[in-house]
Amino acid sequence: MAPRKKPAPAPVKCPDCQTGQVLESFQVGGRKKRISDDRQEALCLTCLGTGEAPTD
């Protein structure tokens, strides 16, 4: 019989986001550009939206 293959290790989660997306504040207004109390979702720049830790 052939030896059994070991399963690949599970990828390590990104330390910054865990899911691939982060919440960011944003600016609103015409001239004064005040920061809103609301948040919007954005891609995590550490893992570029994959949710896995970078290998570098």
pLDDT tens-digit readout, 13-38? 998 888 889 999 999 998 888 998 99
Q: From the CA atom positions of the chain, what is the Rg in Å?
A: 19
For the entire predicted model, the pTM comes to: 0.58
With b meaning 16 or more CB within 10 Å and e meaning fewer, what string describes 6-33? eeeeeeeebeebeebebeeeeeeeeeee
pLDDT band at 43 (very low <50, low <70, confident <90, very high): very high
Give yes or no for residue 55 having a pLDDT over 80: no
What average pLDDT is seen over the chain? 88
Q: Which residue has the tokens 């293959």?
A: 5
Alpha-carbon distances, residue 50 vs 22, 32, 41, 46 (angstroms): 12, 35, 14, 9
pLDDT for the residue 56: 67
